[in-house]
């Protein structure tokens, strides 16, 4: 059976609505057409602002110039983000002082802490501070949470600005856990200038750094550069390292339902 272009478009958008993210190969198999045909379809649908291309597939349309509001963004790729956060939480050891930037993946890390003692968490994420405090209240960790000062960003549930950077200049960390808006050509980006500067500063003052990035961030370029992938100790993602990024394969950890990490 062959499908006309409009029929393919209808099928693609229906699957996107159901799944949230679709893969070129899967759609090509379902429609019995070549992957190149589906890639062209995705390109055309992206031009119409009906979807957003990501590495190997597509997600629901997002405007790169306007980051989604925090609560809405929290639901995007939620299962993948939680898989990544679960592995990231395993990197936290007794006695660590850690920096956690703002993001809808790092915010899940506290959910997976269990019997970790004497941790100092420094964060500019209001949402993450609440979750780490909850972990202390529920006795899943001991230690303290330091919420950095600065100017609030309601869209991201965070603080940033000159005061935030000045506070970070007086701190050093064992580990930094960083999120991002996108990765392109080996460069890690964010949507917001102030928040990208905070992430940069956390990275600079940390012995080890972990980048938490779900597959929707692959080949995604926003405005402000945080770092290069080579600057990160480890890259945590729910999918395998793209073939064209094999230079970073040794840093890449696949986070899935198994026992990664």
- DSSP codes, 33-91: S-HHHHHHHHHHHHHTTS-EEETTEEES---TTSPPPHHHHHHTTHHHHHHHHHHHHHT
Number of domains the chain is built from: 2
Identify which of 19, 80, 24 has the alpha carbon closest to the alpha carbon of residue 56: 24
Asked if residue 239 and residue 153 are part of one domain, the reply reads yes
Predicted local confidence at residue 5, as pLDDT: 79
- Residue bearing the bigger pLDDT, 63 or 177: 177
Please report, for the domain that includes residue 42, its CATH number.
1.10.10.10
Residue 260 is assigned to a structural domain of this protein: no
Asked if residue 13 and residue 96 are part of one domain, the reply reads no
- Residue bearing the bigger pLDDT, 101 or 78: 101
Identify which of 91, 248, 54, 111 has the alpha carbon closest to the alpha carbon of residue 177: 91
Q: What are phi and psi of 175, to 5 degrees?
A: -145, 145
pLDDT in tens, 99-116: 999 988 999 999 999 999
Residue 130 scores a pLDDT above 80: yes
Please report, for the domain that includes residue 205, its CATH number.
3.40.50.10470
Of the ranges 57-66, 156-165, 240-249, which one carries the lowest mean pLDDT score?
Answer: 57-66
pLDDT in tens, 187-201: 999 988 899 999 999
Q: What are phi and psi of 190, to 5 degrees?
A: -135, 165
Residue 259 is assigned to a structural domain of this protein: no
The whole-angstrom separation of Cα 93 and Cα 116 is 7
Q: What are phi and psi of 90, to 5 degrees?
A: -70, -15
The model carries a pTM of 0.73
Of the ranges 46-55, 109-118, 184-193, which one carries the lowest mean pLDDT score?
Answer: 46-55
- Residue bearing the bigger pLDDT, 94 or 181: 94
**Helical ranges in the chain per DSSP H:** 5-19, 24-31, 35-47, 70-75, 78-90, 126-137, 162-168, 193-204
Percent above pLDDT 70 for the chain:
91
Residue 216 scores a pLDDT above 90: no
Predicted local confidence at residue 68, as pLDDT: 55
Residue 117 is assigned to a structural domain of this protein: yes
Residue 236 is assigned to a structural domain of this protein: yes
**Helical ranges in 169-255 per DSSP H:** 193-204
- Residue bearing the bigger pLDDT, 50 or 68: 50
Asked if residue 179 and residue 100 are part of one domain, the reply reads yes
Structure tokens at 216: 């929707």
Percent above pLDDT 90 for the chain:
62
Asked if residue 53 and residue 74 are part of one domain, the reply reads no
Structure tokens at 242: 């793209």
Of the ranges 36-50, 57-71, 84-98, 215-229, which one carries the lowest mean pLDDT score?
Answer: 57-71
Boundaries of domain holding 28: 5-59
Please work out, in degrees rounded to the nearest 5, the angle formed at the alpha carbon of residue 20 by the alpha carbons of 18 and 23: 100
Residue 199: strand, helix, or coil: helix
- The pLDDT mean for the chain works out to 89
The domain boundary, picked from 24, 40, 59, lies at 59
């Amino acid at each position: 059976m062959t499908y006309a272009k409009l029929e393919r478009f209808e099928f693609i958008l229906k699957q996107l609505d159901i799944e949230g993210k679709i893969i070129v190969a899967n759609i090509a198999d379902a429609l019995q057409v070549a992957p190149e045909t589906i890639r062209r379809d995705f390109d055309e649908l992206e031009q119409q602002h009906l979807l957003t291309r990501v590495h190997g597939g597509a997600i629901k349309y997002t405007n790169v110039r306007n980051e989604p509001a925090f609560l809405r963004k929290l639901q995007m790729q939620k299962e993948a983000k939680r898989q990544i956060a679960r592995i990231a939480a395993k990197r936290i050891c007794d006695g660590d002082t850690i920096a956690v930037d703002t993001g809808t993946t790092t915010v899940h890390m506290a959910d997976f802490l269990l019997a970790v003692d004497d941790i100092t968490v420094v964060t500019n994420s209001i949402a993450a501070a609440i979750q780490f405090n909850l972990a202390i209240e529920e006795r899943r960790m001991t230690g303290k949470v330091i919420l950095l000062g600065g100017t609030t960003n309601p869209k991201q549930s965070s603080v940033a600005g000159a005061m935030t950077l000045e506070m970070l200049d007086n701190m050093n960390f064992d580990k930094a856990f960083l999120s991002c808006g996108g990765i392109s050509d080996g460069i890690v980006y964010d949507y917001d200038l102030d928040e990208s500067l905070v992430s940069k500063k956390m990275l600079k003052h940390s012995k080890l750094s972990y980048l938490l990035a779900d597959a929707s961030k692959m080949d995604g370029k926003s405005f402000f550069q945080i770092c290069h992938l080579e600057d990160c100790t480890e890259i945590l993602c729910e999918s395998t390292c793209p073939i064209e990024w094999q230079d970073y394969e040794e840093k890449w950890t696949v986070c899935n339902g198994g026992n990664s990490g």
